[in-house]
Structure 1
Amino acid sequence: MLLYHGSNVEVSNPQISDCIPYILQFYDNEVSLLISNKYGYPIMDSYRKFLFSNTYQMLCNPELEMWEFSPAGIFDMWEAELVTGEPRNSLYLRRD
């Protein structure tokens, strides 16, 4: 089964593959709203910025299991990517 939410990642676990579109939809809504509220972008621009980010590609990767993170954590990763070009520089991940 292929994810349809901007990813071409194939998921082998049917239990996870059934849930991933719903999980991504939740994060799409929440993180886009956080981006829009903080930066003042229209919601659709925020949505596009998130969907075309490396952070989103990481979220789509079922091996990373990033659905364990809160939307605020994913937003922090997106902001780190915005500033440094790399979502892995997020303080949320490094915990410095």
Structure 2
Amino acid sequence: MDEKFNFILSIVLIPQTVGLIVNNEGLDDISAMNEFYNSQTYEMLAKEETKMWHFSPMTIYSMWKHEKETGQLVFPEE
């Protein structure tokens, strides 16, 4: 699963989530990547056992946005 997990993160989830940050927050690519990579949301996403890779980029973006606004990481209810 390690290769598949890394593929999903690097090719799908991270670029699309950063793209949402760029489009919705008005940040440039580098700033958006820095903001995302320095978040608790990314820290949890990078841990395969959290299963956050099952979430859509929009859900991950919403989690990141909530964390940015409140300082708290909240997992969506399933």
On whether the aligned pair clears a TM of 0.5, the verdict is yes
Q: Match for 2:62 among 69, 76, 79? A: 76
Pick the structure with more helix per residue: 2
Matched residue type, 1:69: F
Structure 1 regions of 5+ residues with no counterpart? 1-15
Aligned to 1:55: 41
TM-score of the pair, normalised by structure 2: 0.89
Sequence identity of aligned pairs in percent?
A: 31
RMSD: 1.4
Aligned to 1:21: 6
1:86 aligns with 2:72: yes
TM-score of the pair, normalised by structure 1: 0.74
Count of aligned pairs between the two proteins: 77
Q: Whole-Å Cα distance in 1 between the matches of residues 7 and 16 of structure 2?
A: 12
SS at the partner of 2:50? coil
Structure 2 regions of 5+ residues with no counterpart? none
Contact kept, 8 Å, 1:36 with 1:46, in 2: the verdict is yes
Q: Whole-Å Cα distance in 2 between the matches of residues 22 and 51 of structure 1?
A: 17
Runs of 4+ in 1 over 4 A off after TM superposition: none
How many Å apart are 1:94 and its aligned residue? 4.3
